[in-house]
Amino acid sequence: MFTNRQRQEERTGKYGTPRLQFLQDLVTQFQNTTNEESKEKIIANLANFAYDPYNYTFLRQLNVLELFLDCLTEPNEKLVEFAIGGICNACADPANAALVTQFGGIPLIIQCLSSPVRNTVNYAVGALYYMCNASNKEEILRPEVIDVIERYAAASAVNVSFSNLAQAFLDKHVSQQQ
């Protein structure tokens, strides 16, 4: 559920931790732990906060988008899955999408298209769907990327929702070009 300042104050209560502080604590915990399972849980938690526009400013302020991008280079598939999920959630906002592009995220997201983890691929297609615009379409709409997404769109027998998302990407970004 989306929130606003008033609702957040009501939910937090008089003695609760303000959202910015809570998110800062999560980032600090991530930076201070070496335990892979703890890192996975923290990134998953941050990714869950990335869907709500109320949190976008906090996430930018705390460099969480860069943290997600850093996680995409990790060998831990769960960390990659949760991080690309956070990027997908956050990139519904054009300011977040622009930051991910500015920080060199497009090639990292494109790499996720070849992940063996279905959720990772799904989130990558979703992130590219939100991110693709006039300023970066040449980087995203390369023939090899379109080919992969076309193959996913044709895979409705494997997973209909997965296929539908890939087809929505093609309808919005590729059909316009032709």
163: CB partners within 8 A, 6+ apart: 152, 153, 154, 155, 156
**Lookup: tokens for 46:** 């941050």
Can you give the pLDDT at residue 1?
47
Can you give the pLDDT at residue 10?
52
Element (H, E) at 158: none
- Cα 44 from Cα 85, distance rounded (Å): 8
18: CB partners within 8 A, 6+ apart: 12
CA 70 to chain centre: 12
Can you give the pLDDT at residue 3?
59
Can you give the pLDDT at residue 62?
98
- Cα 128 from Cα 110, distance rounded (Å): 8
5: CB partners within 8 A, 6+ apart: 54
CA distances from 121 to 38, 53, 55, 141 (A): 23, 23, 24, 16
Can you give the pLDDT at residue 150?
96
Measured distance between the N- and C-terminal CA atoms of the chain, rounded to whole angstroms? 38
Please, what is the Cα angle at 150 between 116 and 174, to 5 degrees?
Answer: 130
Low-confidence ranges of the chain (pLDDT < 70): 1-17, 176-178
10: CB partners within 8 A, 6+ apart: none
